[in-house]
A and B are shown apart, each in its own frame.
Chain A
Amino acid sequence: MATLLNMGPSPHIRTSETVESVMYDVIIALLPALFVAVYIFGIRALVLVVISVLACMGTEYVCARIMGQKPTILDGSAIITGILLAYVLPVTISIPTVIAGAIVAIGLGKMAFGGLGSNFFNPALIGRAFIQASWASAITNFSGISRAAGTFRYDVMMADGMAGPTVLTAMKSGQSLGAAIIKNGNPYLQAFLGKMGGCLGEVSVLAILAGGLYLIWRKQIDWKVPVITIGTVFVLTWIMGANPLLHILSGGLFLGAFFMATDMVTRPVTSLGRIIYAVMLGGLIALIRIKGGYPEGTCYAILIMNGISPLIEKYTGPKKFGEVKASGK
């Protein structure tokens, strides 16, 4: 009998996990924040997310075609980028702006580096940084949220009926919270639940936490990254005399810490490297927020750390088994 059988090296079985299943886990984890966004900001939130996702997938398809790669737009990674990009934009953003951001995010942030796995920077944040650089007011101006959304339900508006600044902007400019932003209730609880102004996916710490815990449970992210990042911001803002609790509960910190700082492709792959990365990231966020020119620091801090990541990775390889004295005991 001379049937030629399939060869190939060991192992001959493999985990049922695939790139797709890993990516779809992340997408599942992003859903709670989507529900909250739609609940708070209305259906426009969903429209923006869908447009962002489609624009990302479309860009990836076109780029892959041009580059002669097999398009893998269904592997989930472009969908994640699309969702995350929308999540870091306010509901007032215009649709062409979202599309422009998506094209830059995928085209420049991912495909220009060679596609999935080859990029150094988180594509969604590249998209956001691009929008911020080009149309700064589109991102930082949260006024008019109530009108744009129509269904903005919570009392986070100023007395004159206009939406106020975000908590971070208020803190930055030294306004008192009571007067500026949050009324009728415990500000911490409101921030935790998402009853305040902010970008689409950032508002509810609870929703982000739910998704984050799911990813930790599924072993898709290292819990140390978000915990250390957030912990560092807490401690440093406290030391620098700010309100640490309000700092960690507002702005994009939770979203960034759980979903962007943990981005597999752009964070260090070694375990020790991830710890160093998270500490430095938390430090940078606190510094930018308190000392820098922006009220929010998560986006830039992560991009900066993405750039340093390969360096950290290089010096933090695990200690190999057997690196012991000859006695071995």
Chain B
Amino acid sequence: MSFFGFKGGVHPHDNKAQTKDELTVLLTAPKMVYIPLVQSNPAIPVKPLVKPGDSVLKGQKIGDADGMMTVPVHSSVSGTVKKIEDRPYPVMGAVVPTVCIENDGQDAWAELSKVEDWEKATKEELLAVIREKGIVGIGGATFPTHVKLNPPKDVTVDTLLLNGAECEPYLNADNRLMLDDPRSIIEGIKIIKKILGVNTAIVGIEENKPRAIAAMKAAAEGTGIEIQPLKTRYPQGGEKQLIKSILNREVPSGKLPSAVGAVVQNTGTAAAIYQAVVNGVPLIERVVTVAGKAVKHPKNVKVPVGTLFSEILDFCEVDRDRLYKLVLGGPMMGLAQFSEDTPVIKGTSGLLALTKEETNAYETRPCISCGKCIEACPMSLQPLRFVQLTLKGQYKELGPANLLDCIECGSCAYACPANRPLVESIKLGKTKLREIMAKK
């Protein structure tokens, strides 16, 4: 158990039992996949390298862009490009250019270039491969991994932390990966250690996954990689919280983890790095936890990127009459989806079909100043103030109220008995505040 720990946080029912022991099943690749031509930020498009009518192979690069902040896009099936059109994207309700590929069912792979002996490769070569294979953080934020693994020159990184906390309720995708393929993760960690030039690597896993902890410990045997059980408390997997819990270092406000010598990676991303570097496989499929009370057969499914939610929901038999909210990711930070016609992307860790009872929907009430939101805030903020100020339109005051330190974890809103619009106010407030700051 980690000795330190962070302040605040909440204890939602983890709801992991639904899929914890479900082995990961492979979803038969669907007839059509829809691969968005964006990476991490819907505002930065990727140029297509194919046109309608082209035949593509599985793993073939179909889009790329200049610039540091993007990575290429690959086809997750072999088949024919039918069209490239604007389609819904699961983040920010955006609509983005999407390559629609008809699966020929042949599973014909493109030639995979791999690094022959990664231990001899340079840092730059490894980073280039990681970018080329489309690796992004698969915990949800889909931030380009080659950027994260290349911290600014003026900081010294001494520790690599691996986030295996999976603190979001319901989700088991990381848990399953740690159970099913711990070796890939450990090998990936070795590669990242080399890139960062660090000796210390610690994997943090919440205590509610004892089997994953054991499996990772066994796989890490003799490698010097530490496995650190952590208290089960949301948001234990938040970067800043993880660093505080494991290293007892506090990332200064407005700074990146590298400011305190740490880089945090998701365990799944480590496995993807291993696949990319050693086997030459780009990031084209992932494990998604499908859960929620509206799902008849909750499962962890391995699906090609670009599979529509509707296919997965059909596969797991979702009761559409009971489906109240469809959430991409975990229930605490995930994004509600308006349509099932949206494809799985690299950061899709979960697909939750929630019923109304499950969400505990409750009308908004006046704030009773109970202080539960303050207690729950892992960043030691006063969330109730954010609502007061945004409702009054006093956006300028939000800066001094430390709004920009909010990590949007949702703990405050979870804990609020009056169901105040906390996260809404925070999101709106951040937008308004940034507008004001930009004007100055």
**Is B416 a contact of A326 with CB atoms below 8 Å?**
no
Chain A residues closer than 8 Å to B384, beta-carbon distance: 269
**Is B368 a contact of A19 with CB atoms below 8 Å?**
yes
Chain B residues closer than 8 Å to A3, beta-carbon distance: 320, 339-340
**Is B359 a contact of A322 with CB atoms below 8 Å?**
no
Chain A residues closer than 8 Å to B263, beta-carbon distance: none
Chain B residues closer than 8 Å to A75, beta-carbon distance: 365
Chain B residues closer than 8 Å to A12, beta-carbon distance: 325, 327, 331-332, 334, 336, 352, 354, 359
Chain A residues closer than 8 Å to B323, beta-carbon distance: 5
**Is A10 a contact of B254 with CB atoms below 8 Å?**
no
A304 CB to nearest chain B CB (Å): 18
The CA-CA distance from A265 to B366 in the complex, in Å, is 10
| CB < 8 Å neighbour of B336 from A7, A267, A326 | A7
B373 CB to nearest chain A CB (Å): 9
Q: Which of B158-194 contact A (CB under 8 A)?
A: 169
**Is B260 a contact of A1 with CB atoms below 8 Å?**
no
- Of chain A, the residue at the smallest CB distance from B428 is A9
**Is A14 a contact of B252 with CB atoms below 8 Å?**
no
- Tell me if B196 counts as interface (CB < 8 A to partner A): no
- Tell me if A8 counts as interface (CB < 8 A to partner B): yes
Q: Scan A292-329; emit 1 where CB is below 8 A from any B CB, else 0.
A: 00000000000000000000000001111111111111
Q: Scan B250-272; emit 1 where CB is below 8 A from any A CB, else 0.
A: 11111100011000000000000
The CA-CA distance from A3 to B427 in the complex, in Å, is 26
| CB < 8 Å neighbour of A115 from B259, B341, B366, B372 | B366
The CA-CA distance from A323 to B402 in the complex, in Å, is 11
Chain A residues closer than 8 Å to B427, beta-carbon distance: 9
**Is A11 a contact of B410 with CB atoms below 8 Å?**
yes
Residue picked from A5, A117, A317, A329, most chain B C-beta under 10 Å? A5
- Of chain B, the residue at the smallest CB distance from A5 is B326
A324 CB to nearest chain B CB (Å): 5
Chain A residues closer than 8 Å to B233, beta-carbon distance: none
Residue picked from B240, B310, B380, most chain A C-beta under 10 Å? B380
Q: Scan B206-249; emit 1 where CB is below 8 A from any A CB, else 0.
A: 00000000000000000000000000000000001000100011
- Tell me if A264 counts as interface (CB < 8 A to partner B): yes
- Tell me if B106 counts as interface (CB < 8 A to partner A): no
**Is A320 a contact of B368 with CB atoms below 8 Å?**
no
**Is A9 a contact of B367 with CB atoms below 8 Å?**
no
Chain A residues closer than 8 Å to B7, beta-carbon distance: 321
Q: Scan A45-80; emit 1 where CB is below 8 A from any B CB, else 0.
A: 000000000000000000000000000100101000
Known contacts A11-B410, A327-B260; is A322 also within 8 Å of B366 by CB? no
Known contacts A9-B427, A16-B360; is A264 also within 8 Å of B370 by CB? yes
- Of chain B, the residue at the smallest CB distance from A20 is B417
- Tell me if B379 counts as interface (CB < 8 A to partner A): yes
Chain B residues closer than 8 Å to A19, beta-carbon distance: 365, 368, 417-418
Interface size class of B (residues with CB under 8 A): 35 or more
B341 CB to nearest chain A CB (Å): 7
Chain A residues closer than 8 Å to B324, beta-carbon distance: 5-6
- Tell me if B35 counts as interface (CB < 8 A to partner A): no
Chain A residues closer than 8 Å to B334, beta-carbon distance: 10, 12
- Tell me if B382 counts as interface (CB < 8 A to partner A): yes
Chain A residues closer than 8 Å to B310, beta-carbon distance: 1
Known contacts A318-B380, A320-B405, A322-B405; is A10 also within 8 Å of B255 by CB? no
- Tell me if A132 counts as interface (CB < 8 A to partner B): no
| CB < 8 Å neighbour of B423 from A10, A21, A118 | A10
- Tell me if B3 counts as interface (CB < 8 A to partner A): no
Q: Which of B59-95 contact A (CB under 8 A)?
A: none
**Is B423 a contact of A270 with CB atoms below 8 Å?**
no
- Tell me if B399 counts as interface (CB < 8 A to partner A): no
Q: Scan A13-29; emit 1 where CB is below 8 A from any B CB, else 0.
A: 11111110110000000
**Is B338 a contact of A320 with CB atoms below 8 Å?**
no
Chain A residues closer than 8 Å to B408, beta-carbon distance: 10
Chain A residues closer than 8 Å to B320, beta-carbon distance: 3
Q: Which of A19-42 contact B (CB under 8 A)?
A: 19, 21-22
The CA-CA distance from A326 to B250 in the complex, in Å, is 9
- Tell me if A239 counts as interface (CB < 8 A to partner B): no
Chain B residues closer than 8 Å to A116, beta-carbon distance: 365-366, 368
**Is B368 a contact of A10 with CB atoms below 8 Å?**
no
The CA-CA distance from A326 to B258 in the complex, in Å, is 11
- Tell me if A2 counts as interface (CB < 8 A to partner B): yes
A3-B320, A6-B325, A8-B325 known, 15 other contacts, Cβ within 8 Å: A8-B336, A10-B332, A11-B410, A11-B413, A13-B354, A15-B10, A15-B12, A17-B417, A18-B417, A116-B365, A270-B382, A317-B382, A318-B374, A321-B380, A326-B255
27 example contacts (A-B, Cβ-Cβ < 8 A) are as follows A4-B338, A6-B324, A7-B336, A9-B424, A10-B410, A11-B332, A12-B325, A12-B327, A12-B336, A12-B359, A15-B10, A18-B365, A22-B370, A72-B365, A116-B368, A117-B418, A222-B371, A264-B368, A318-B382, A320-B405, A321-B6, A321-B7, A321-B380, A322-B250, A324-B252, A327-B260, A328-B249
Residue numbers of B with Cβ under 8 A of A are 6-7, 10, 12, 169, 240, 244, 248-255, 259-260, 310, 320, 323-327, 331-341, 352, 354, 358-360, 362, 365-372, 374-375, 378-382, 384, 402, 405, 408, 410-411, 413-419, 423-424, 427
Residue numbers of A with Cβ under 8 A of B are 1-19, 21-22, 72, 75, 77, 115-118, 220, 222, 264-267, 269-271, 317-329
What are the 7 A-B residue pairs with the smallest beta carbon separation, nearest first? Answer: A328-B260, A322-B253, A117-B366, A11-B410, A17-B417, A321-B379, A318-B380
